[in-house]
Structure 1
């Protein structure tokens, strides 16, 4: 019985010391509970994927493709994409990325109403 209590005590002391060292390094955040009590908690630290940046990059990419399609017109745009698809491996990847998909068509139709 004493060993089990001592082991759980050591585990609790280890968790407290780990939390104190993280708080001393400055990775903390203050959280207000439902009852108004302010607690200082250790912020979860680790690698995170930048989902917002990826989403905004895709949004800008499709908007620029739509702008190109609206400005050049369907025929010219398709002929330039076909030239890319007939080129080197890198140009073929660019041609695949720049093909006129439904999102690009919708963006081009929306932009076309404003530029003409």
Structure 2
């Protein structure tokens, strides 16, 4: 192959890689010289778009939900239901582990009790 052919194939390969990166989304920006450029959108560790902020909001909502349940049914009833859930299938035992009371949900339940009408 000649030098020009090698250079051509290198350019084609570089364009193919860039196109493959742009398929997953792109951000466009205007350079100082007036050229509009598309750059591949950055993804969070290759996941399906779940950001750290969204994950933190889900955890917060889950803890708030647990606090609400503790207020709604009472701490003793809540603990008995979680214990009964822990005696079930392995999936239910995992759910019971996630639903067990911890200091944050207890504190939230205590604060919610004070707001209760």
Q: Which TM bucket (shorter chain)?
A: 0.5 to 0.7
- The structure carrying a bigger helix percent of its residues is 1
- What does residue 113 of structure 2 align with? 112
Q: How far did 1:22 drift?
A: 7.5
Q: CA 1:75 to 1:56, structure 2 compared with 1: closer, same or farther past 3 Å?
A: same
- 2: CA distance between counterparts of 1:97 and 1:44? 34
RMSD over aligned Cα atoms: 3.4
What's 2:9 paired with? 10
Scaled by the length of structure 2, what TM-score is found? 0.66
Structure 2: give runs of 5+ residues left out of the alignment: none
- Residue in structure 1 matched with residue 93 of structure 2 by the alignment: 92
Larger Rg: 1
Q: Distance in 1 between matches of 2:109 and 2:33?
A: 51
Which residue is 2:36 aligned to?
A: 39
- How far the C-alpha of 1:31 sits from its partner, in A, is 0.9
Residue 70 in structure 1 maps to residue 71 in structure 2: yes
Q: Which runs of structure 1 show a deviation greater than 6 angstroms over 4 or more consecutive aligned residues? A: 20-23
- Asked which structure has the greater RCO (Cα within 8 Å, sep 6+), the reply is 1
> Structure 1 residues 74, 20: closer, same or farther in 2, change over 3 A?
closer
User: Helix, strand or coil: the match of 1:100?
Assistant: coil
Q: 3-state DSSP class of the match of 1:40?
A: strand
Equivalent residues, number: 112
How far off is 1:48 after superposition?
2.8
Aligned residue number for residue 58 of structure 2? 57
